[in-house]
Structure 1
Amino acid sequence: MQVEFNGHAYLFTNPRFRGKYISPDEAKGGWINYGGDKIWPMPEGSEDENHWVIQSTAIDDLPYSFETLSKGKECMVRLTGQPDTITGMRIVRTVTLGAESPEIHFHALMENATAHPITWSIQSVSQYDLSDPAKPGDFNHNFWAYTPRNPASSFPDGMHVRYGLAHDPSFSFDGDLFRLHWTWFGNEVWLDSNAGWVAIVDKSSRYGMVETFHVKRDAEYPGKTSVIFYQNGPTVSFDEKGIPSIAGADSSKDAYYMEAEINSPMVTLQPGETYAFDTAWHPISIDAQPEEFSAPGLVVERLKATVDAGKLHLKGNFSVFAPGKLMAVFFNRNGIISGQHELEDVDPAKMVMLDTTVPIDPGLARVSLKLIDSEGKDRGSLSIAKVEAR
């Protein structure tokens, strides 16, 4: 599977298996990583039958039936998997694209295909390509991932390094924003983020992807974790004498990718029952760390509204999820709308670098920057600013 936006390809596709199919019988219990996007069970592990050992099975390595449900203004397809004898689940996935934006919506349905209760979480896995197109054989040195830290996290420092170095320099926080700066070293970090979004930013290509999902705050999650980032690469190993070495450190034989993994809550299903997990992808143009998430897009630089020479100066940087128009909505000191001003056309394929002046209304106290999409729908406020004197 591959996803392209404005000519930019996002996902890793494994060159070893491109154009090939390895059946579960041929895989013999191994895992064939084709790349792309996946739906997996959680928790993962080999402790007991309530954990899933990663391998090629019916879940992602047997044929799915394919149906086209709608065409035209809204395109919708459904993929129906086969019952998996190991987990007892069947996956049915509906993918929807609309004409008004490049957003992609996923509806993943987990069905109990057995005659007994089962308990699982389902996980959305996106494998992002980290190779450097300008330097064959090298990795992208300017690739970042972000998600907010849970202020009431169950983990020390808001994260848990499940695999790899606990002091890996690729992990950091900027306030309550977790940051991963991809480096070629194997690790996996778990977070119990409750914000419902993950942002992927390739500062070299100036393209990014925002994955959104709903977090149920009173629900049980696998390992208390809603978001996982996995980096492939070499790892530290020890020989029989306890001498450490770096295993797998031959970049010529490796591929570069990062997994962004989104977990659903743990769910117990009776025979025939189903559970749905909804996620969405929002491809955008972006080249910097986001400051905030909003319904219509990411805020890279918060809106500033200053009065200068009798006019209102509006400034800020944004990445929008849908094409449309930016509208400045003005509020007076009593919180009542006093006017509005259409600013400019915007599109997800182009970063919004707002820097303009508009006439000022008497008594103006604050400004809300709204996105009105191509169908005239109000997508919500990108950013809100109090009016200040310069």
Structure 2
Amino acid sequence: MSNQWVRLDFVPQLGGRLMQVTFDGHAYLFVNPKYAGKYISPEQAAGRWINYGGDKIWPLPEGNDDEQHWTGASTPLDDGVYAFSVLSQGDRCTVRLDGPPDPPTGLQYSREISIGSDSPEIDFHAITKNSTGHSIDWSVQSVSQYDLSDANAPDGWNHNFWALTQVASDSPYLLGYHVRDGLANDPSYAVDDGMFRLHWRYIEGEVWVDSGPQWVALVNGVNNYTMVEKGTHIRNAEYPGKATVIFYKNGPTVEFNAQEMPFVTPPGREKTPYYMEAELNSPMAQLEAGQTYTMDTRWFPCRMGPELKEVTDSGVIGTALTAVRNGTEVNLSGHFGVFFPGTLEAYLYDRGGTERGRVPVQTVSPKELIDLHHAIPAPANIARITIHLIDSHQADRGALGEALVSTPAGER
């Protein structure tokens, strides 16, 4: 499924996976070469997890405590053959993937995935059904595996890959995040000005974050291709382990041998490939027999580097907007990426907050980094300027930044 912006490759036989997303020639997702062109049925897997890569949905919580935990094995839920159908074509294309009932969990998954003709936005509508005759409790999560390989790096992996999300101001975690697996002092993790920043390193780890806005940004700093995934955070809902977002880093790990001496498992791309997972969680949902629960997420391929500071409805911000007066003009500066093609417009406000006009600034595209340096005419009474993205249908997609108009020190 494709438009002028993105191409989506599906492999329904492999647990209904979206196997690859390509935007502007850049492929985002990890595809495991070990299983290229292969299918290993749940019966053949015999309790193992077969990691094909790509994007899929999974249940939470994980574990082997009881029937209300998913063991992570390749069962019909993750490795069954899904039916593929086309629901619509034209200005908006939608496909549907319907999975078989999964006896271990009692769940049955379906997903509808859509793209329009006017932008690279990808919409996901996940449907969880209780296929049993009794009530069950589960969360559903979208799980996307991102490719961390880099053919130009000496050791073959990307040393400039980042994962970011905003930490909830009232996070239940001491540091704003919780290391679920791996090194507690892993230098990959940090919180800076309310933003959780993961700088990928080749060592295994899983970290849980309570992200209020529930968005994640996966940033390839080598070429500045970014993917923003957005969920819908429900305040005061019960999330598994209080985590709305989970990141998993694949890599070598610390284990103990028979003599109880610690060692690091050997690295190697074949057995321990270069990828990381970004996971958006739903709240726990109690489903009665035959009942369904839905989860909606959206993806926005765009351009931005590791300097990403904020995600808005219209795009991403690397450097915040500034507005500096220069006589009868105001010089606008900032560094942005956008989710939709269109035009940046400056909304002009006076000191009383009344809008006094709008000025087109420049045309923009999701395929381009926007390094804004533009002067616009502005009367002396203009005190504040907001930059909005107006899409190709003349819809206002929201603000990318807002700034008070400042005057150079020597001119005050």
Q: TM-score range by the shorter chain?
A: over 0.9
- Report the AA paired with residue 141 of structure 1: H
Does the CA-based 8 Å contact 2:336-2:370 persist in structure 1?
yes
Does the CA-based 8 Å contact 2:203-2:251 persist in structure 1?
yes
Partner of 2:147: 129
- Report the AA paired with residue 266 of structure 1: M
SS in 2 for 1:156: coil
- Does residue 307 (structure 1) correspond to residue 357 (structure 2)? The answer is no
Q: How do residues 131-210 of structure 1 correspond to structure 2 at under 5 angstroms? A: 131-135=149-153, 138-210=156-228
| Deviation per residue, 1:293-339 (Å, 9 max, x gap) | 21100111111011013310000010100100000010111211101
- Report the AA paired with residue 243 of structure 2: T
Q: Say which of 210, 215, 218 aligns to 2:233.
A: 215
Identity between Structure 1 and Structure 2 (%): 48
Partner of 2:355: 337
- Report the AA paired with residue 108 of structure 1: A
Q: Say which of 58, 73, 95 aligns to 2:113.
A: 95
- Does residue 279 (structure 1) correspond to residue 297 (structure 2)? The answer is yes
Structure 2 gap segments, 5+ residues each: 1-18
Does the CA-based 8 Å contact 1:314-1:356 persist in structure 2?
yes
**Aligned mates of 2:163, 2:50 — CA distance in 1:** 25
Q: Say which of 57, 62, 81 aligns to 1:63.
A: 81
**Aligned mates of 1:56, 1:253 — CA distance in 2:** 18
**Aligned mates of 1:332, 1:309 — CA distance in 2:** 16
SS in 1 for 2:105: coil
**Aligned mates of 1:71, 1:250 — CA distance in 2:** 43
**Aligned mates of 2:162, 2:220 — CA distance in 1:** 6
Count of paired positions:
390
**Aligned mates of 1:73, 1:250 — CA distance in 2:** 45
Q: Say which of 246, 266, 285 aligns to 1:248.
A: 266
- Report the AA paired with residue 341 of structure 1: V
Distance 1:58 1:253, change over 3 A: closer
SS in 2 for 1:157: coil
Does the CA-based 8 Å contact 2:231-2:297 persist in structure 1?
yes
Does the CA-based 8 Å contact 2:214-2:245 persist in structure 1?
no
**Aligned mates of 2:154, 2:42 — CA distance in 1:** 32
| Deviation per residue, 1:193-213 (Å, 9 max, x gap) | 112211111010210100001
**Aligned mates of 2:374, 2:391 — CA distance in 1:** 20
Does the CA-based 8 Å contact 1:233-1:248 persist in structure 2?
no
TM-score of the two chains, using structure 1 as the length reference? 0.98
Partner of 1:358: 376
- Report the AA paired with residue 25 of structure 1: E
**Aligned mates of 1:383, 1:358 — CA distance in 2:** 16
- Does residue 325 (structure 1) correspond to residue 322 (structure 2)? The answer is no
Partner of 2:9: none
Deviates more, 1:224-233 or 1:60-69: 60-69
- Does residue 377 (structure 1) correspond to residue 377 (structure 2)? The answer is no
Partner of 2:98: 80
Does the CA-based 8 Å contact 2:245-2:279 persist in structure 1?
yes
Shift of 1:136: 7.5
Does the CA-based 8 Å contact 2:30-2:145 persist in structure 1?
yes
SS in 1 for 2:35: coil
Distance 1:136 1:272, change over 3 A: farther
Partner of 1:236: 254
RMSD value, Cα: 1.1
Give every structure 1 segment of 4 or more consecutive aligned residues whose post-TM-superposition deviation is greater than 4 Å: none
TM-score of the two chains, using structure 2 as the length reference? 0.93
**Aligned mates of 1:239, 1:15 — CA distance in 2:** 30
Partner of 2:306: 288
**Aligned mates of 2:344, 2:21 — CA distance in 1:** 27
**Aligned mates of 1:248, 1:112 — CA distance in 2:** 41
Partner of 1:224: 242
Structure 1 gap segments, 5+ residues each: none
Distance 1:207 1:14, change over 3 A: same
Shift of 1:33: 0.3
| Deviation per residue, 1:273-311 (Å, 9 max, x gap) | 111100011001112321122110011111101101331
